[in-house]
Amino acid sequence: MHIDPRIRNHARVLVHYSVGAKAREVVTVDGPTGAEPLMVAIHEELLRAGAYPAIRLVPEACAGNLFKHGKPHHFDSVSPLDQASVRHVDGLIRIMAASNTRNLADADPKQQARLSQATRSLRQTLLKKKWVLTLHPTDAYAQDADMSRDQFADFVYAALRANEADPVRAWKDVAQKQARLIRQLKNADTIRIVGPDTDLRLSVKDRTFINSCGRHNLPCGEIFTGPQETSAEGYIRYDYPVVHAGREIDGIRLVFKQGRVVEASAEKNDAFLQQMLAMDPGAKRLGELGIGTHYGIKQFIKNILFDEKIGGTIHLALGQSYAETGGRNRSALHWDMIKDLRQGGAIYVDGKKFQVDGQFVKGF
């Protein structure tokens, strides 16, 4: 089977860098049928590493079937097989390869919320293991990005650094550059984000910034932390639509007081936004502040895996915190929303300019 050499490079990074597969480890590879070329390459690399590959190729229609034909217990509990799989797996590679990015647009949001609640403990267990989420190019993603299939594939593999001679070395270089940014934020307290229709303050005191450099997301390129749960004050209008649970939500504006969303609106799919915010008490608080550092990703493509990494943007996630940041917010929701700071935006750290118009300030 002929495989694009860029796909082989993609697989090498996932296996040998992102999850660091070792001999006799069990590594699950999940993806829809559109991901088959990448899954085959990953299978080969896992065997070369001496690991046990567990390939789970799931037709996309199965997700829709669940919401059309599932019984109450399908949304309120987890099967014993899924529980056992999560306990015994050493690593997980999950691949996005949608043929229709709106496949779940008609799913019941209440069922989606129940399913998220039921699977929360499994997600928490997986987060403690080796895992990575990535994307394989498809026509659906290319259409969302307003690109041809070949143009989109070139965009993806450049962002993955899969077209470089040594992509693993390239991601290690990213880690070093981001480590320098994190050192500049040591002992930071107040973060202020300003821009069009945006003036938001929050505290990151005693919280840890994480160097996200291809270990859990590929592509990657961000540093992130968990804000103090009651600290967010002000308002923010997000510049880009977000696609969440099969729906596109656009024109989102949030107002925070004492860390909690007190006003929320969206120009498109506002009802869905309100339902997600009502999922549980933690859904109205921030679980993450992320700063995008991948300046090779310049354009918005309606895919959060890439869009939140755009150099010169920030993203704030409502809901669940990542424990390694010191964040304590708990929710079945984790929903990233993006603010573009490249034209008239800035980040202040304890009153000093950290970033202006999307560029980090030298000598901060």
Q: Which of 62, 54, 57 is nearest to 25 (CA)?
A: 54
Q: What is the CATH number of the domain that holds 71?
A: 3.40.1830.10
Both 220 and 355 in a single domain?
yes
Do 79 and 18 lie in one domain? The reply is: yes
Work out the widest C-alpha separation in the chain, in whole angstroms: 58
Listed residues 133, 164, 195: the one ending a domain: 164
Are 121 and 243 part of one and the same domain? no
Q: Of the candidates 340, 364, 363, which has an alpha carbon nearest to the alpha carbon of residue 194?
A: 340
Distance CA 195, CA 342 (A): 9
Q: What is the pLDDT of residue 113?
A: 86
pTM of the predicted model as reported, rounded to 2 decimal places: 0.89
Which helix (H) or strand (E) covers residue 315, if one does? strand 313-319
Looking at the 3D structure of the chain, how many domains does it have?
2
24, 47 contact by CB (below 8 A): no
Kindly state the helix (H) or strand (E) to which residue 28 belongs, with its residue range: strand 26-31
- Same domain, yes or no, for 87 and 211? no
Whether 153 and 212 share a structural domain: no
| Domain residue limits at 325 | 183-360
Identify residue 80 by its one-letter amino acid code: P
Let me know whether 342 and 205 are in one domain.
Answer: yes
Average pLDDT across each block of 10 residues of the chain; the chain has 364 residues. List them in order.
88 97 97 96 98 94 91 93 90 96 87 90 89 97 96 97 95 96 96 97 97 96 98 96 87 98 97 94 97 96 95 97 95 95 96 96 78
Across 174-197, b (16+ Cβ under 10 Å) vs e yields: beeebeebeeebeebeebbbbbee
Q: Look at residue 171 and tell me if it is in a domain.
A: no
Do 136 and 246 reside in the same domain of the chain? no
Helix or strand run (H / E) with residue 290: strand 286-292
CA proximity to 158, closest of 37, 309, 26, 25:
309
Residue 85 pLDDT: 87
Tell whether 292 is covered by a domain.
yes
Residue 364 confidence (pLDDT): 65
